[in-house]
A and B are shown apart, each in its own frame.
Chain A
Amino acid sequence: MIKAFRYVSFFLIIFIQLSFLLAIFYEEIDTFWIVLFIAVISILISIGYYHVPRAEENHFIEDCFLIVFVVAGALSTYFCSTQLNFGPVIAASGVGFFASFLPIFNRKSPILKELPEAVYCGAFVGMTAPKVAAGIPFILFAGFLTGVILLLSKNVFNGFGGKLGTIAFGGVALTSLLIFLIF
């Protein structure tokens, strides 16, 4: 079961990255150099996928609390960014910086140890611009979806820069797609 989740999350992350590149490709299809640049990058990242580190951790149900932290990070960042007008960069980094000190309260706690990553992942969801996020319910749902993807992808792309952001992008893009399809 854990193996199946690992495969699903691995291919989901690949799908998110390729969709992102494809969007640039379609918009700049008339510019030869950019198309060539995207093609070379796509080939290189395909090689990179074979060398992605994998971990074998069997904790799963125990980690469901991660979803709550992701949602909390998303809501607090969105609030600081849009309501307090700090902008997405200060809001996300402020929330992430604050969260990084929380494990100090109990260094032995496995829950607190995983908290900064989950909150920072949620903070990326909260960076969504108000023109994309249709209010707090959008951020709540996108945060929940991101938390689920984070949980599924616990054993892939570990120690990889940009993993948390890719997961957050997946959650936000999936929420936008669902809203587009339903409404």
Chain B
Amino acid sequence: MYTFTLIITGILGAISTFYLNNILKLGAVRSSAGLSLVVGLIFYVFPNIAPAFLAKNIPIVFIGATFIGMVSNEVIAHYFLLALAGALFAIIYVNSSAFFNGYGGALGTTASITVLVAVSLAVVSRNKHIEKIKRKVRRR
């Protein structure tokens, strides 16, 4: 259940930042930092609104997922891929290495890995062989 909540947090963080950055044109840094500041302050002022594990990890997953939303709409333009990257971010975060625990930038590295996965999935799905399979499935 906790992992599921973190996955939803990851999806929300990525999509909301992308919306502020690319649709409302607030800029990547302001969108990411502004949203993270709001979420961080909510859990700082009201630490008891969620179980201790979630109160500690939701702000961290959220700020990490906002890094995904900093992506330009020329690189990723599909909300589904962003949501997928956000979910993937939370899954990698839950399983991340204890060796790099506490290292600054680890969240950003995870975010860049998930963005690369989303970009490659977009490329793979446009592949003509995959398109053929998709058409066959649609016909059925």
Q: Which residues of A line the B interface, CB within 8 A?
A: 13, 16-17, 20-21, 23-24, 26-28, 34, 37, 41, 44-53, 74, 86-90, 92-97, 99-101, 116-117, 120, 124-129, 131-133, 142, 146, 157-173, 176
Contacts and interface: CB of A to CB of B under 8 A. Distances in A.
Interface residues of B, number: 59
A124 B106 CA distance: 9
List the 6 shortest-distance A-B pairs measured between CB atoms, nearest first: A165-B108, A162-B112, A169-B105, A159-B72, A129-B102, A96-B33
B113 A161 contact: no
Contacts of B108: 124, 162-169
B95 A34 contact: yes
Nearest to A158: B72
B96 to A, nearest CB: 6
A116 B105 contact: no
6 contacts: A20-B113, A24-B97, A45-B117, A116-B29, A120-B33, A168-B108
B93 to A, nearest CB: 11
Given A94-B37, A124-B108, A159-B71, A172 B103 contact: yes
B10 interface: no
Nearest to A130: B102
Q: Is the interface of A mostly helix, strand, loop or mixed?
A: helix
B12 interface: no
A91 B108 CA distance: 16
Contacts of B41: 90
Contacts, number: 212
B121 interface: yes
B120 A97 contact: no
Contact of B120 (A20, A45, A124): A45
Contacts of A49: 116
A162 B27 contact: no
Contacts of B46: none
Contacts of A93: 32-37, 40, 63
B30 A169 contact: no
A131 B60 CA distance: 18
Given A97-B34, A120-B29, A162-B108, A89 B102 contact: no
Contacts of A117: 28-29
B63 A51 contact: no
A40 B34 CA distance: 33
Contact of B44 (A86, A97, A127): A86
Nearest to A131: B102
Contact of A162 (B36, B104, B111): B111
A125 B100 CA distance: 13
B70 interface: yes
Nearest to A95: B33
Nearest to A127: B104
A90 B60 CA distance: 10
Given A24-B97, A89-B63, A159-B74, A165 B107 contact: yes
Most B Cβ at <10 Å: residue of A37, A88, A160:
A160
